[in-house]
Amino acid sequence: MPHGTGWRISLIGILILLSFLYLTPTLVTTLPSWWKGALPKDKIHLGLDLQGGTHLVLEVDTQKALEGTLDLVATDLEDTLNAKTLRFKRIQRVGSDKVSLLFYERGTADAVQKLLKDKYPGYEQTPAVDEGGFIGTTLKINEKDAQDRKDKAVQQALETIRNRIDQFGVSEPVIQREGINHIVVQLPGIKDPQRAIDLIGKTARLEFKLVREDVPPSSAVIPDDAELLKEKTTDQTTGAVSEVPFVLQKKAMITGDLLTDAQVRIDSQFNQPYVAIEFNSLGAKLFDQVTAANVGKRFAIVLDNNIYSAPVIRERISGGSAQISGNFTEKTAADLAIVLRAGALPAPVKIIQNVTVGPSLGQDSISKGLYAGLIGVVLVIIFMSVYYKLSGLVANWGMVLNVIYLMGALAALGATLTLPGIAAIVLLIGMSVDSNVIIFERIREELKLGKSPKAALNAGYDKAFMTIMDSHVTTLITAAVLFQFGTGPVKGFAVSLSLGIIINLFTSLIGTKVIFDMILHKGTIKNMSI
């Protein structure tokens, strides 16, 4: 055996064993009982286009997120000025980028402007001016901060949706940002896509608001600090939906941001599911104070501007626990608990694309991809065997190594195989012998110069090395760009292509050379079958 060949043969053998080790969960339906511990258990995951499922493109209403931020600023200013006993007529958001403040006298306006400068240094203030006997000023968010808030809203929405889907139990989902305000969600193998869509799209803004008993719902004029919302009830027998209007205090007493847990429970008296919620320490304190101060009044539980229930506060509620009851089924109660645990979306999302792929289409794609790959392999084997004779068989050996290593690498990395990924594998079958074609043509040139087979072999591999390296590096850069900026299917293609390029460098420069070295090491062969 020639010098240096032993370690190369050992490396090739070890990589083959590792590839089959990681491929075992994919190739075997049921793993044996002794297959435990550190042995791999994950198989190659199939993408949405192969397994079937749902592909969604969501658009985040970032403008609403910005408005929500300014609403919080307005509420915070009300609380701050009340705490400092600074009298004001009105504080409210105006448009999508300003908060308007109106005062009774200029002295208060001047004092508040100093306070605003310290409290909100990133906001722009207008000078205090006379507005019909009152003194008015505005607080405007600057363009950079507004853009940052919109960007954070998309990132928050992405994380919230990921948390919801994780709790929903979808395996191998793809959730990623696309562009400025779009989020792509792929749910492979999902059985109930509409339920998942409802779960993802719910804003889940939970608020507890006092019912305004002094304003009848039929009133033609609703005060500025109140709003008219409705409670929907469904008759379990007939399925008929009815709506009960309530006038609520616009400002929420407590919000869902203060929740720590939400679980489904069954009412022992009526055998109906409800959602039990737990507040954090601040929420528990506020809930205790609010219920103590409003015994005998109605307290509406509002989710996304829909009233779930509006019970009367019978007594002070301490301990930080409450419940949301309504016309729930176990599924709807479970979904509500999921969105409350995962948190509210910072802004509403709109589904702008919804594509469902059936598993039968996916199976058809797998079959056609495998047939294409098989046909490609057979044609390449025939061509290389006929054109390059015995040397062509060595190149075919390198191609087989390529496929084994690539599939093993996909399994080891837990990569998801997509239809474009299969296309990349078929492409790499051709690329795997393309490198050998370059090497073989170099060897032929050296043999024509009268060199011995062994000298021609070494010269051929040496001279082809930089050409092969350059072509593979440039292709790898392209694959990296596709992975960075592409979406789901394109990323699947880029992953398979990147792995295949790296593996092909090894098989073409080491995997095939070791076979030639073993055949030619004695130097007795006068002619090379190429």
- pLDDT of amino acid 209: 93
Strand order in the sheet with 349-357: 174-178, 182-188, 53-60, 349-357
Question: Are 211 and 297 a contacting pair, CB within 8 Å?
Answer: yes
- Burial letters 369-396, b for 16+ CB under 10 A, else e: beeebeebbeebbeebeeebeebbebbb
**Model confidence pLDDT, tens digit, residues 287-323:** 998 999 999 999 999 988 889 888 889 888 888 888 8
The answer to whether residue 365 scores a pLDDT higher than 80 is no
How far apart, in whole angstroms, are the C-alpha atoms of residue 139 and residue 145? Answer: 13
- pLDDT of amino acid 171: 66
C-alpha distance from residue 469 to each of 243, 475, 501 (Å): 71, 10, 10
Question: Are 10 and 522 a contacting pair, CB within 8 Å?
Answer: no
Name the CATH topology of 202-356: Gyrase A; domain 2 (3.30.1360)
Name the CATH topology of 5-52+358-520: Multidrug efflux transporter AcrB transmembrane fold (1.20.1640)
Average pLDDT, integer, range 180-207: 85
> Rounded to the nearest 5°, which phi and psi values hold at 46?
-95, 140
Amino acid making up residue 345 = L
> Rounded to the nearest 5°, which phi and psi values hold at 487?
-100, -170
- pLDDT of amino acid 57: 92
Residue by residue, DSSP assigns 285-341 as: HHHHHHHHHTTTSBEEEEETTEEEE--B--S---SSEEEE-SS--HHHHHHHHHHHH
pTM comes to: 0.64
pLDDT confidence band for 236 (50 / 70 / 90): low
What is the CA angle 459-461-467, rounded to 5? 115
Q: Is 342 exposed, middle or buried (0-12, 13-18, 19+ CB in 10 A)?
A: buried
The answer to whether residue 523 scores a pLDDT higher than 80 is no
How far apart, in whole angstroms, are the C-alpha atoms of residue 200 and residue 186? Answer: 12
Domain 63-145 maps to which CATH number in 3.10.28, 2.30.110, 1.20.120, 1.10.260?
3.10.28
Per-residue DSSP letter, 127: P
How far apart, in whole angstroms, are the C-alpha atoms of residue 398 and residue 404? Answer: 10
**Model confidence pLDDT, tens digit, residues 92-140:** 888 888 999 999 999 999 899 989 888 888 889 988 888 888 999 999 9
- pLDDT of amino acid 199: 83
**Model confidence pLDDT, tens digit, residues 432-478:** 888 888 888 888 888 888 888 888 888 888 888 888 888 889 989 98
How far apart, in whole angstroms, are the C-alpha atoms of residue 180 and residue 111? Answer: 40
How far apart, in whole angstroms, are the C-alpha atoms of residue 513 and residue 510? Answer: 5
Average pLDDT, integer, range 258-278: 87
**Model confidence pLDDT, tens digit, residues 26-69:** 888 777 777 877 778 777 877 777 777 888 999 999 998 898 88
Domain boundaries, the chain: 5-52+358-520, 63-145, 202-356
C-alpha distance from residue 48 to each of 20, 44, 424 (Å): 25, 13, 17
Name, in order, each residue with C-beta under 8 angstroms of 380's C-beta and a sequence gap of 6 or more.
396, 399, 429, 430, 433
- pLDDT of amino acid 359: 62
CB atoms within 10 A of CB 330: 11
The answer to whether residue 237 scores a pLDDT higher than 80 is no
